Amino acid sequence: MTAHKYGFLIDASRCIDCRACLVACSAENNVSMKHTRIWIKDTGIVGEFPDLKHYTAPYHCMHCTDPACVSACTVGALQQNEDGIVTYDNDRCIGCRYCMYACPFEVPYFEWDKQFALITKCDFCISRLEEGQAEPACAATCPTDAIQFGSREEMLALARERIKNEPGRYVDHVFGEHENGGTSTFFISPVPFEQLGFPTTERTESSARFNREVTEIGTPIIASAVALGMTGIYLALKPKTGKHAAEKTEHTEEKTAQAQEE
Amino acid sequence: MAINVKIKSIKLLQGLPRFAYLLAVLTALGMSASLYRLYAGLGDTTNMSTVFPWGLWISFDLTTVAFAGAAFTLAALVYIFHMHDLHAAVRPTVLFGLLGYGSVLVILFFDLGRWDRFWHFLVYPNLSSALFEVSWCIAIYTTILIYEFSPVLLEKTKYKKLLGFIEKITIPMVIAGITFSSMHQSSLGSLFVIMEPRLHPLWYSIIQPEFFLLSSLAAGISTIIIGSFVSIKLFGKTLEQKMIEKLGRLMPWILGLYLVIKVGELAFAGELDLLFTSGMLSVLFLAEMILGVIIPAVLFSIRKIRTSRVASLVAALFVAAGILLNRFDATWFAIKKLNGESYFPSWIEIALLVGVASGVLLVYTLAAHFFPVFSETLNARSLSEANAGASQPAHTPAGD
């Protein structure tokens, strides 16, 4: 029925904060370590001495099923592929930064320090996948399999299975299953996602839908209502020719009088 | 010869108001700030950040577009609703609109990370993007404003043959202008529909487009009233009080409708409690509603206030303050802070803004000096007569 969709599963309980994924992303995408498309969310130190904990999770673009950024992008630089990957065309982007406000997951990053600045964002290492490599760089590098890559269904099933098998290890929440209408990146975690600093949302519909309602339905309605309304009112209120003509002459007379004054 | 030309140009500048030179200095300072911004990038020159990717410039853009709504509001009243006695205000207002949009386009240019690609919106459409709609409608509407202003420039040149043609297509052009204005005024509100996670619920609404469109009408009328006052001081020209009274009569209707929908929307969403529980944001929202909507709606419904020049000005200033606050709230103050990070503009952001604003005001002054912008308006000297005229009952029933 639907095309094959890629997916990620990121397991915070497996992350050891080694940041090899950041290095891999930097090397693969030829970006500085400051501009990697993956970064670490963490809880800080939690718990009571001596039972202290520090949870971390790598975090990158969620690749929403109905991405708000794609709907918002002024020039269509952000697009969604059939396989669910949200791509970014850096030859089109004008750097307006609307996607940064549109994204409910606070993902797009702007190159503030550059003279000609663009957005940076994870694209599933699409060029690697197109070359026939099995995984994006971060997933291939992760030493503890905290980042796993596969089909969306597989990853979602795996997330549920892990929670089911070890309910003590995870909170019962697959982040990304319903958030913003569902995504292609799933997270499971030993602590609630707020604690990891994830943007929490209760909305299970993408804000892209509301956006389309106003831009693709609302605006054309307003436009046609105004155009027709104005034409109608103009014709309805148009004074009878005689009176109008009288006004016009008066108007011209005024003008001539003024011209003479000058 | 050269000396002759020099003397001529000095003569041309005679009578130019003195503040024009101050504007020129501020424009030059702003231009240096803008060159530095292009050289150094946005990170070094602005205080915008990942948490606040838009700043003062966007707040200014939205506010200016609302006030520049004066041009389409007036065009509708004069040409569509046939309130021809408002015609005298058309030229000054169209010029204000044109330069308002001009300043917005210039600021937007400096706001882009890749300003060298500003034209991309023309060739890479994304029909579901509110910002795409805004860009296109502003581009088209600015062109229409140039058309609407062109007779002023052509009148005394050899191209005045064109005037006949220009006048012939007035009505279709005006209707197109009103349509594209309504589209981008409302699309500026649409911008926020996708920003639900970031915008405070007192301002977030799926009918934000309608709020922005309606408030741009009030902003437009207040601009014309304030402008008629400012132009006395600056150019010695103004509008008859009778016309200001007529414009004022529309205000209670527009503001009243705005208030009803706004409160109704909050009630419908079950968010009325936020009016009192959101701390500083409640204060800002109530200030918008009370100072910017309720008070001026009451003031403008009183005939004595509408017929008084100063009282009308005060009432219009309330509306303008409310609009300013509303646009700044929606783009800045009511944006949810993340990680405790807040935003305040850098001095370069402020300098560039002041420079661009001064630049367009300078162009306005020069245009008013060299072209017949105020040809139909009253001389301020004959003001007292006009006031005497306005206090008599109006002869023509218009509007109500």
Poorest-confidence range of A207-216, B92-101, B233-242?
A: B233-242
Q: Which residues of A fall within a CB distance of 8 Å from B126? A: 73-76
> Nearest 5°: CA angle at A36, between B348 and A74?
60
Q: pLDDT band at B380, cuts 50/70/90?
A: low
Q: Which alpha helices (DSSP H) does chain B contain, by range?
A: 2-13, 19-40, 42-45, 56-68, 70-75, 90-111, 120-123, 130-154, 162-168, 170-190, 208-235, 241-268, 274-277, 280-289, 295-300, 303-307, 309-328, 347-370, 383-391
Do B196 and A118 make contact, defined as CB atoms within 8 angstroms?
no
The answer on A101 and A39 residing in a single domain is yes
Q: Which residues of B fall within a CB distance of 8 Å from A113? A: 41, 43-44
- From A205, A227, A249, the end of a domain falls on A205
CB atoms within 10 A of CB A213: 14
Q: Which long-range contacts (CB under 8 A, 24 or more apart) does B204-211 make?
A: B205/B265, B205/B269, B206/A210, B206/A213, B206/A214, B207/B261, B207/B265, B208/A214, B208/B330, B209/A214, B209/A218, B209/A219, B209/A222, B210/B186, B210/B261, B211/B258, B211/B261, B211/B262
The answer on A121 and A94 residing in a single domain is yes
**Structural domain contains residue A241:** yes
Q: Which residues of B fall within a CB distance of 8 Å from A64? A: none
Q: Which two tokens stand for residue B373?
A: 């912008």
Q: Identify the pLDDT of residue A227.
A: 95
Contact partners, residue A221, CB within 8 Å, separation at least 6: none
**Structural domain contains residue A100:** yes
Q: Is A95 on the interface with B (CB under 8 A)?
A: yes
Question: For residue B46, what is the domain's CATH number?
Answer: 1.20.1630.10
Q: Which of residues 108-167 of A touch B (CB under 8 A)?
A: 109-119
pLDDT higher at B320 or B231: B320
The answer on A225 and A179 residing in a single domain is no
Nearest CA in chain B to A238: B82
Mean pLDDT of B311-326: 96
Q: Is A93 on the interface with B (CB under 8 A)?
A: yes
Measure the N-to-C terminal CA separation of chain B; round to a whole number of Å: 61
The answer on A195 and A228 residing in a single domain is no
Burial of B234 per CB tally in 10 Å (0-12, 13-18, 19+): middle
Determine the distance in angstroms separating the CA of A143 from the nearest CA of chain B, rounded to an integer.
30
Give the number of domains in chain B: 1
**Structural domain contains residue A245:** yes
Nearest CA in chain A to B83: A237
List the single residue in B39, B82, B121 with the smallest CB-CB distance to A75: B121
- Which residue in A89, A113, A230, A255 has the most chain B C-beta atoms within 10 A of its own C-beta, making it the best mutation to test that interface? A230
**Structural domain contains residue A1:** no
Do A75 and B79 make contact, defined as CB atoms within 8 angstroms?
no
Q: Is the pLDDT of residue B278 over 80?
A: yes
Q: Identify the pLDDT of residue B238.
A: 81
Distance between CA B175 and CA A223 in Å, rounded? Answer: 11
Do B133 and A68 make contact, defined as CB atoms within 8 angstroms?
no
List the single residue in A74, A113, A203 with the smallest CB-CB distance to B126: A74
Query: Across the strands, what pairs with A60?
Result: A38
Task: Report chain B's mean pLDDT, rounded to a whole number.
Answer: 89
Do A233 and B40 make contact, defined as CB atoms within 8 angstroms?
no
Identify the CA nearest to B244 among candidates B93, B372, B360.
B93
The boundaries of the domain holding residue A90 are 6-205
Q: Is A101 on the interface with B (CB under 8 A)?
A: yes
Mean pLDDT of B109-133: 95
Q: Is the pLDDT of residue B388 over 80?
A: no
The answer on A217 and A200 residing in a single domain is no
Q: Is the pLDDT of residue B232 over 60?
A: yes
**Structural domain contains residue A70:** yes
List the single residue in B49, B80, B111 with the smallest CB-CB distance to A234: B80
Do A219 and B175 make contact, defined as CB atoms within 8 angstroms?
no
Nearest CA in chain B to A225: B179
Nearest CA in chain B to A227: B179
Poorest-confidence range of B59-63, B310-314, B378-382?
A: B378-382
Poorest-confidence range of A140-149, B13-22, B93-102, B191-200?
A: B13-22
Q: What is the DSSP string of chain A?
A: -PPP-EEEEEETTT-----HHHHHHHHHHT--GGG-SEEEEEEEEEEETTEEEEEEEEEE---BSS-HHHHH-TTS-EEE-TTS-EEE-TTT-----HHHHH-TT---EE-TT-SS--EE---TTHHHHHHT-SS-HHHHH-TT-SEEEEEHHHHHHHHHHHHHH-TTTS-S--BTSSGGG-BSEEEE-SS-TTTTTPPP----S-HHHHHHIIIIIIHHHHHHHHHHHHHHHHHHHPPPHHHHHHHHHHHHHHHHHHHHH-
- The three-state (H, E, C) secondary structure of A173-217, written as one string: CCECCCHHHCECEEEECCCCCCCCCCCCCCCCCCHHHHHHHHHHH
- From A175, A205, A235, the end of a domain falls on A205
Q: pLDDT band at B368, cuts 50/70/90?
A: confident
Contact partners, residue B197, CB within 8 Å, separation at least 6: A104, A199, A201, A207, B336
Mean pLDDT of A207-234: 94
Q: Is the pLDDT of residue B367 over 80?
A: yes
**Structural domain contains residue A116:** yes
Distance between CA B225 and CA B135 in Å, rounded? Answer: 28
Peptide bond into B53 cis (omega under 30): no
Q: Is the pLDDT of residue B196 over 50?
A: yes
Q: Which two tokens stand for residue A214?
A: 């106003």
**Structural domain contains residue B202:** yes
**Structural domain contains residue B399:** no
The boundaries of the domain holding residue B334 are 18-391
The answer on A82 and A201 residing in a single domain is yes
The answer on A130 and A17 residing in a single domain is yes
Contact between B148 and B178 (Cβ < 8 Å): no
Contact partners, residue B7, CB within 8 Å, separation at least 6: none
Poorest-confidence range of A53-62, A88-97, A243-252?
A: A243-252
Q: Which residues of B fall within a CB distance of 8 Å from A104? A: 196-197
Q: Identify the pLDDT of residue B252.
A: 97
Do B130 and A227 make contact, defined as CB atoms within 8 angstroms?
no
The answer on A107 and A28 residing in a single domain is yes
The answer on A92 and A25 residing in a single domain is yes
List the single residue in A96, A115, A212 with the smallest CB-CB distance to B128: A212
Cβ pairs A/B, distance under 8 A = 193
A61: number of CA atoms within 13 Å, CB side? 30
List the single residue in B49, B84, B113 with the smallest CB-CB distance to A118: B113
Give the number of domains in chain A: 2
Identify the CA nearest to B42 among candidates B115, B121, B132, B106.
B115
The answer on A143 and A43 residing in a single domain is yes
pLDDT higher at B202 or B370: B202
B387: number of CA atoms within 13 Å, CB side? 12
Residue type for position B327: R
How does pLDDT run across A70-110, given as a tens digit for each residue? 999 999 999 999 999 999 999 999 999 999 999 999 999 99
Q: Is the pLDDT of residue A261 over 90?
A: no
**Structural domain contains residue A59:** yes
How does pLDDT run across B7-19, given as a tens digit for each residue? 666 666 777 778 8
B69: number of CA atoms within 13 Å, CB side? 27
> Nearest 5°: CA angle at A257, between A255 and A259?
70
The answer on A150 and A253 residing in a single domain is no
- From A205, A221, A248, the end of a domain falls on A205
The answer on A162 and A237 residing in a single domain is no
Do A112 and B41 make contact, defined as CB atoms within 8 angstroms?
yes
Q: Which two tokens stand for residue B358?
A: 């001064």
Q: Which residues of B fall within a CB distance of 8 Å from A258? A: 375-376
Question: For residue A84, what is the domain's CATH number?
Answer: 3.30.70.20
Q: Which of residues 201-230 of A touch B (CB under 8 A)?
A: 201, 203, 207-208, 210-216, 218-219, 222-223, 226-227, 230
Determine the distance in angstroms separating the CA of B98 from the nearest CA of chain A, rounded to an integer.
21
Task: Calculate what percentage of chain A has a pLDDT beyond 70.
Answer: 90
Q: Which residues of B fall within a CB distance of 8 Å from A120? A: none
Distance between CA B389 and CA B240 in Å, rounded? Answer: 9
A51-77 in b/e form (b: 16+ CB < 10 A) is: eeeebbbbbbbbbbbbbbbbbbbbbbb
Q: Identify the pLDDT of residue A252.
A: 47
pLDDT higher at B1 or B281: B281
Radius of gyration of chain A (CA): 27
Determine the distance in angstroms separating the CA of A152 from the nearest CA of chain B, rounded to an integer.
25
Do A111 and B187 make contact, defined as CB atoms within 8 angstroms?
no
**Structural domain contains residue A192:** yes
Identify the CA nearest to B92 among candidates B231, B187, B273, B190.
B231
Q: Which residues of A fall within a CB distance of 8 Å from B115? A: 94-95
List the single residue in A73, A118, A210 with the smallest CB-CB distance to B129: A73
**Structural domain contains residue B396:** no
Nearest CA in chain B to A234: B80
pLDDT higher at A1 or B233: B233
